[in-house]
A and B are shown apart, each in its own frame.
Chain A
Amino acid sequence: MENNEILKKKISEILKKDSDKFPFIAQLWEMEIYEKNLNHEKIEKDLNYGHFNTKSYKSTYFYKPISKIIDFSKLNE
């Protein structure tokens, strides 16, 4: 856990310095480090930060129907 915090600080420094690659706000992004148990022997650390290019599984769904192809009037038949 402590290592993760050190890691977060280091990454934050990188984001701060590399202003060409990341928006200025990057240094303030919230970070989430989680461990992926690939199999029983190998554990890989993965990082998500903010919402820029994030692959986070903390997902939200779209706010309205994307299409209206399911005919609800026929669901009770």
Chain B
Amino acid sequence: MNKTYFKLFANCIIVKGASRATICDLQRNKFQLIPLSLIDFFDDKNLIDLEKIKKQITEDSIHILNEYMDLLIENEFIFECNLKESKLFPSLSMDFDYPSTISNAIIDYDKNSNHNFQKIIDEYLIPTNCRHIQFRFYDGIELNYLNDIIKIVNESFIKSIEIIVKYNKTIPLERLKEWVSENKKIKSVTLHSYSKNQIVQEENFGFGIIVAVKQEINDESHCGIVHHNYFNVLIESFTESQNHNTCLNRKLSIDKNGNIKNCPSMSQSFGNIKDTTLEVALNHKEFKKYWNITKDQIEVCKDCEFRHICTDCRAYIEEPENQYSKPLKCGYNPYTNKWEEWSVNPLKQKAIKHYVMQDLVKK
């Protein structure tokens, strides 16, 4: 008679942390926290031999085993099979590739900026096959100005744009809703410095979201926040995380002064759009410096059960001299499993001072 085993589905990946683990379901885009003791049930082929385990544990522990099995079965993380059948389910490839040199871009803008958006899109983004842009306006701008930008986007092969802009009371929310509905490539508009936090318009197949937030965003130093709402359980980001940096890989940014950077929050610039070509910037030996720093190499993050669903930050780190130190704005401790406010952590005060963020953290 064929012995029965339970096999972990190939799209469900266990990520072990220091004191607990996650099962990341890359097909259903969700994760489940599990105790470390549950991982030991699986052998190196991700099989559970229930009969063998039952023989190894005491009778008192049987109900715990049953609870664990119920959790795995109810969430459809495992399925029943025999040894021969289990070989028909190979593990998922963790290779990552993306059909573009640059996959996403950030363009920052404030009242002193003077970007030529047509030039940026035509000369810096289209040639790299970049199709997703985030525009961040630190000051209020007119809807006509945004409309000029969206016209360029609509006439290009850019697929989606996100807009973060200071709330401007001259643009009625109803007019903004109409405008967003007319322009199908707008994934989201976030109005910052608004009087309250509000969802202005719900998503429509993932597009056309308008939210307003009280948070005042006056420069790029506000970026780099690590929060569980930014977790992303997708095969693309999960596989990218195995070999690349989840924030900086294939990212190009134009800061508010027109400087070409990997990230607008980083000090290193690779030229200015006024006088530097894309080729020169991209071929600079340091442009891709952070692209392959993975979470498995970063201190503390390497012990975190969320490391492959989290987006990293290398611009603001706990030890500015150590490029492998933990993101400054992460308040999660994988050794205690607690989230705490990062800005009041005494160990981070030196770095906060280094990045001149004292005023920002007071807010």
Contacts and interface: CB of A to CB of B under 8 A. Distances in A.
9 contacts: A51-B157, A55-B154, A63-B234, A65-B230, A66-B132, A68-B329, A69-B225, A72-B229, A74-B215
Nearest to A74: B215
Interface stretch (B63-71, B173-181, B184-192): B184-192
A73 B332 CA distance: 13
Contacts of A76: 197
Interface in B77-119: 103-106
Interface in B149-194: 154-157, 159-160, 162, 164, 184-185, 187, 190, 192
A72 B329 CA distance: 12
Interface in A28-77: 51-55, 57, 59-77
B215 A71 contact: yes
Nearest to B103: A62
B157 A53 contact: yes
Contacts of B206: 61
- Secondary structure at the A interface, as helix, strand, loop or mixed, is loop
A68 B106 CA distance: 11
Contact of A59 (B159, B225, B232, B313): B159
B46 interface: no
A60 B232 contact: no
Interface residues of A, number: 25
Contact of A75 (B132, B197, B228, B329): B197
Contacts of B350: none
Given A57-B185, A61-B206, A62-B103, A67 B227 contact: no
Given A64-B240, A72-B230, 15 more contacts: A52-B157, A57-B185, A62-B132, A62-B160, A63-B234, A64-B246, A64-B311, A67-B134, A68-B313, A68-B329, A70-B225, A72-B225, A72-B227, A72-B228, A74-B215
A13 B217 CA distance: 52
B128 interface: no
Contacts of A55: 154-157
A63 B104 CA distance: 10
Contacts of A72: 225, 227-230
Most buried by B among A67, A70, A77: A67
Contact of B222 (A60, A61, A65, A69): A69
Contacts of A69: 136, 164, 217, 220, 222-223, 225
Nearest to B311: A65
B227 A66 contact: no
A60 B160 CA distance: 7
B341 interface: yes
Contact of B227 (A57, A63, A71): A71
